[in-house]
Amino acid sequence: MGSHHCFVCGDKNPKGLHVHFEQEEGGAVHATYQCDPTHQGWPGIQHGGITSALLDEACAYVTYFQGLTCMTGQLTVQFHAPIHVGETLEIRARPVRVTRRLMDIEAEIVSRSGERKASAQAKMVVLTARQQAQAGLSNP
Ligand SMILES: CCCCCCCC(=O)SCCNC(=O)CCNC(=O)[C@H](O)C(C)(C)COP(=O)(O)OP(=O)(O)OC[C@H]1O[C@@H](n2cnc3c(N)ncnc32)[C@H](O)[C@@H]1OP(=O)(O)O
């Protein structure tokens, strides 16, 4: 786990989403999540900010499982279909391009029936030791 108090994955954040990511072969990650009534925007529909946070976190976990300390530099999200309260979702992410300081990641959220709900492309910046210290992440 990246941080016990992380909004998406932290086990000690009482207001968090408590999502548990698992690693796959090839560096991909996946998790499941059930849309909670407290996370609505329009009535009965998950707020896009929550959807974006889930996608961002999936991208971050791709880097985390590789032992890298990264921050999201850019996240581009497409919302394909509404996510309804109570729906169970599969969240997936995988690396598509890796350089010394950048990882390009693709992520998606699909319903149990296979409907594509949202997708994202992220640029995760690998922090230097100095950047980690400046961000207070020397001992993440
Ligand atoms: C385990 C799970 C933990 C949960 C984590 C959840 C993920 C998050 O949400 S992190 C929080 C949100 N993100 C942030 O707060 C980041 C804030 N921004 C910053 O701190 C800085 O702008 C930072 C570190 C991203 C980039 O620092 P900066 O000094 O500008 O860039 P630098 O280190 O020189 O860049 C390195 C490379 O990244 C590229 N890059 C930097 N910023 C960006 C960006 N915003 N978009 C695209 N590429 C970028 C540079 O072009 C460079 O590429 P190359 O090596 O190919 O030339």
Residue 27 neighbours by CB distance under 10 Å: 16
CATH number, position 35? 3.10.129.10
Could you tell me if residue 8 is inside a domain?
no
Global model pTM greater than 0.90: yes
Could you tell me if residue 52 is inside a domain?
yes
Give dist(CA 90, CA 109) in Å, integer. Answer: 6
Indicate the helix (H) or strand (E) that contains 116.
Answer: strand 116-126
pLDDT tens digits along 120-135 = 999 999 999 999 999 9
Place of tokens 């998950």: 46
Number of domains composing the chain: 1
Q: Could you identify the atom of ligand 1 that is nearest to the CA of residue 59?
A: 7
Give dist(CA 8, CA 13) in Å, integer. Answer: 9
Distance of CA 126 from the midpoint of ligand 1 (Å): 7
Domain holding 98, by residue range, is 22-134
ipTM of the complex, rounded to two decimals: 0.95
Could you tell me if residue 10 is inside a domain?
no
Could you tell me if residue 7 is inside a domain?
no
Could you tell me if residue 12 is inside a domain?
no
Could you tell me if residue 11 is inside a domain?
no
Distance of CA 74 from the midpoint of ligand 1 (Å): 7
Distance of CA 127 from the midpoint of ligand 1 (Å): 7
